[in-house]
Amino acid sequence: MRLNLILALLLLACLTFSLAKDQRRPLARGRRRGVGPKRARKQTSNTALQQGRTAESNGQDGSIFTENTKEPKPNYEVTAAKSEHCVFRGITMYDKTVWSPKPCVNCLCSSGEVVCDRILCPALQCQLKFQPIGECCPICIDPVVDAPEFSGDPPSPNDLGDPYIEISQSQRDTKERLKKDEEERIREKDAERKLRKKQKKEEAERQRKLNEAKEAREKEEELRRLREEEEERAAAEERKRRMEEQRRVEEDRARRLEMEQREMMRALEEAAERAREGLRGDEATEDEDMVWLRGDVFQMPPVPPTRTADPPPLLALQEPTEPGEEDHEPGEESPEPEDTDVVEEEFEMVTTLLPPGCSISDVTVTCENAKLTGIPPLSIPELKSLSLQGNEIKTIPFGAFNGIPNLEWIDLGKNKIVSSGIDPQAFKGLKFLSRLYMDGNLLEQIPSELPSTLQELKINENNLKEIEENSFEGLSSLVTLEMEGNLLSEGNVNPQAFKPLKELNYLRLGRNHFRTVPQGLPASLLELYLENNLIEEISETAFNHTTNINVVVLRHNKLDESSIAPLAWINHRNMESVDLSHNNFYLVPSFLPKSLVHLVLAGNQIERIPGYVFAHMEPGLEYLYLSYNKLDRDAIEPESFFGTFNTMTELCLDHNHLTSIPMGINEMTALHFLRLNNNKIRHISEDAVCDPLNEDDSHLVALRLENNFLDPRKIPPTAFSCVRSYSSVVLKPQRIK
């Protein structure tokens, strides 16, 4: 025991001597003098306490402590700086920044100065030493030796200056930090796994809801289709019933006409017989009743009562005869010469009812291109139709139609009628007038006091310069209105002018000077034609009041894809046909009506069909015409025809610059007509037109591919398997390569 104590004291003395020697040995310039671990720790702790700062671990079992700038720093390499930042090897460091320029050396930026310190390793009292990889100081690997026994309290590690305390503490801190990092990573992985699981669950739920919504939509579509089929059947039955009823009415009318004609012929025969008897008989037949011609053609004018037997009906239907050539039986006496003069006079009265160039048929008088300068004075109450087209009529005076009050249709087209030449009361007496045509005249205003029964009014190719608020006053029954080829614009058409037209369905305003869609269109409007104008934009309010409109024609205007407001017509549920051909479109326009079925975009400069441009349409587009544009191989995206795969019936892409069959065509299960002629197509793949996986019946009725660069011998045999008949595929002629 005493020997062990002596050995321990000797070992302690050697250690003390070694430490004292290290303290006396000067360090190289720029480094701290060597001190014992205990003294170094105390000095560093005192300095840190004086500055009120804590030591920072460098992560390599060493510590850097900032020191008071007022004390000298003989043990550090110091690089002065002009500011609070430090510049070290060309790199600017912020104040209090700690870094390690090389292993086992830590530097600190303190108030513009760079303080560097090399990590000191404690002296090891062991024979076997080992320096772990990544560590600055070696460690002992000797087996633990029993410590010598002391009679008093054993010295504490701090009193002995044990350097291992700090190292083991750092290792424990490192291990704890690594353990915490590992636990944190595990928690993050668990959270990420839970999040993925939650996302998968939400995705599955969303997919389930989408499937349910899809099934609901399919059921709704099926119900709607069944309702539409039922409505179509009901409409077809109604049309059939109406046609049958109309046929019966026509048969009844024909039967009545036939009976009337027979009655008329019988009356004529009786009248002729009485006339012959009157010419041959006694003067006592003076009081015989007159026979009037019956029917819808005309009625004979009254004859002076002094006449005896009246033969005008017979003579009006027979060819005129020369005196002495009357039809009489042999042996009978010829009529007296004065009687013949009377007959000729009566015949002249009948034939002068119609002017030269006019003809009569049933209830219609036609005087077309007869060089008339005025309304002929007719007195035919049964007359229904009067055509005066192609004459030189300039005026319509008051009472011009007094003799024909039952007119239903008047055609005054291609005359020289001016607004000032029409008497305000000219048409007022026509209580049954439903159609009035005044195309090709010189009118500057709408004629006034038109009958309220009017249903169709045509004033095309005139000089209309203004539509006033009361221009259509009283025309509540008007269904069709045409005013094409005039001088109308949004500046001279009063928005209140169309208000009285409660039943207007069909409006034509083509070949005018409109720059925008006219305002104030009636809510009953179904078809609007504005072709050949100067329309540059379609505002959001253009069709606000025409919610029932079905057809809009805007061809030959100045529209492009940016001139149509997003809400102009996208929400219209009845707009099925839109014609935008021959405008300035470079793209297929977006925000087209949801209910669109028929779209015409021919004759533009369209270079691309954006994806999903037809996806919002319900039930879907059926007819698409893109002929005479600039579509090439990059113009059509995989999603361009999305939404039309089950509805597209007719697709025209002819006269473009396509080099191959566009994508998506083979998915169109309802396509019947496809035009791809006059392009630059060179190859056709096996599945470009027909989907080989689709086992349904053939659906394509006609396919045109002529005037391309195709070699028919290189076309796969099954490329046209979905075409009903190979004779419906037009491949010739092809262009010379």
Please give the Cα distance from 340 to 322 (Å, whole number): 9
Backbone angles phi, psi at 482, to 5 degrees: -125, 125
pTM for the predicted model, two decimal places: 0.55
Closest listed residue to residue 557, CA positions, set 538, 574, 532: 532
What pLDDT shows up at residue 333?
41
* Amino acid 707: pLDDT: 95
If one compares 684 and 144, the residue with the highest pLDDT of the two is 684
Residue 464 lies in a domain: no
Identity at 108, one-letter amino acid code: L
Does the residue 103 lie in any domain?
A: yes
Highest mean pLDDT among 164-173, 298-307, 373-382, 556-565: 556-565
Q: Using CA atoms, how far apart are residues 490 and 500, in angstroms rounded to an integer?
A: 18
Do 125 and 222 lie in one domain? The reply is: no
Instruction: Note the pLDDT of residue 606.
Output: 96
Q: Can you give the pLDDT at residue 617?
A: 93
Specify the higher pLDDT residue, 676 or 249.
Answer: 676
Mean pLDDT of 506-532: 95
In this structure, is residue 248 part of a structural domain?
Answer: yes
- In the predicted model, what is the mean pLDDT of residues 663-689? 92
Beta strands in 3-82 (DSSP E): 56-57, 63-64, 77-79
Which is more confidently placed, 125 or 468? 468
Both 156 and 202 in one domain: the answer is no
243 is a domain residue: yes
b/e 351-386 (16+ beta carbons within 10 angstroms → b)? eebbeeebebeebebbbbebebeebbebebeebbbb
- My answer on whether 47 and 107 are in the same domain is yes
Q: Which amino acid, residue 377?
A: P
Q: Which of 38, 250, 285 is nearest to 164 (CA)?
A: 38
Whether 309 has a pLDDT exceeding 60, the answer reads no
Give 624 or 179, the one with higher predicted confidence.
624
Token pair in block for residue 4: 């062990």
| Cα-Cα-Cα-Cα dihedral sign, residues 729, 735, 736, 737 | negative
Give me the mean pLDDT over the 229-254 stretch: 82
Q: How confident is the model at residue 298 (pLDDT cuts 50, 70, 90)?
A: very low
Q: Looking at the predicted structure, is the pLDDT value of residue 230 above 70?
A: yes
Per-residue pLDDT for 66 more than 80? no
Residues 59 and 156 in one domain: yes
Number of domains in the chain: 2
pLDDT of 268 reads 65
Helical residues (DSSP H) of 100-163, grouped into ranges: 157-160
Q: What is the CA radius of gyration of the chain?
A: 55
Predicted confidence band of residue 441 (pLDDT cuts 50, 70, 90): very high
Domain assignment present for 75: yes
Q: Which single residue is written with the structure tokens 């200056």?
A: 161
Q: Is 144 within the bounds of a domain?
A: yes
Top pLDDT among 235 and 262 is at: 235
Residues 135 and 209 both lie in one domain: no
Pairing of strands 409-411, 105-110: unpaired
Cis peptide before 619 (omega within 30 of 0): yes
Task: Say whether both 147 and 259 belong to one domain.
Answer: no
The domain in which residue 232 lies consists of: 185-296+308-321+341-353
Q: Which residue has the higher pLDDT, 123 or 288?
A: 123
Q: Residue 422: helix, strand or coil by DSSP?
A: strand
pLDDT value at position 112?
Answer: 81
Classify burial at 160, counting beta carbons within 10 Å of its beta carbon; exposed 0-12, middle 13-18, buried 19 or more: middle
What is the amino acid identity at position 444?
A: E
Say what the pLDDT of residue 80 is. 43
Whether residue 197 is found in the same domain as residue 315:
yes
Q: What is the mean pLDDT of residues 510-521?
A: 94
Predicted local confidence at residue 116, as pLDDT: 87
Count CB-CB contacts under 10 A for residue 149: 11
Predicted confidence band of residue 607 (pLDDT cuts 50, 70, 90): very high
Phi-psi category of residue 411: left, alpha or beta, with phi > 0 → left and psi -120 to 50 → alpha: beta
| pLDDT of amino acid 29 | 39
Q: Which has more pLDDT, 169 or 427?
A: 427
Is 434 a residue whose pLDDT tops 60? Answer: yes
Q: Is the pLDDT of residue 686 over 80?
A: yes
87 domain-assigned: yes
Q: Where are the alpha helices (DSSP H) in 52-163?
A: 157-160
What is the arrangement of strands in the sheet containing 113-118, beginning at the earlier edge strand?
Answer: 77-79, 113-118, 105-110, 98-102
Domain match, 157 and 16 both: yes
The residue ranking higher by pLDDT, 324 or 504, is 504
Identify whether residues 213 and 259 lie together within a single domain: yes
Q: CA nearest 667: which of 606, 728, 722?
A: 722
Indicate the helix (H) or strand (E) that contains 716: none
pLDDT at 336: 41
pLDDT for residue 340: 40
Task: For residues 110 and 158, state if they share a domain.
Answer: yes
Identify whether residues 157 and 205 lie together within a single domain. no
Residue 22 scores a pLDDT above 60: no
Residues above pLDDT 90, as percent of the chain = 42
Q: Is the pLDDT of residue 592 over 60?
A: yes
Flag whether pLDDT at 591 surpasses 90. yes
| % of the chain surpassing 70 pLDDT | 74
β-bridge mates for residue 624, sequence order: 599, 651
Give the pLDDT confidence of 264-273 residue by residue, as tens digits: 666 666 666 6
DSSP run (H or E) holding 330: none
The rounded mean pLDDT for the chain is: 78
Residue 679 covered by a domain = no
* pLDDT at residue 566 in the model: 92
pLDDT at 331 over 70: no
Q: Are residues 196 and 67 in the same domain?
A: no
Q: Is the pLDDT of residue 371 over 80?
A: yes
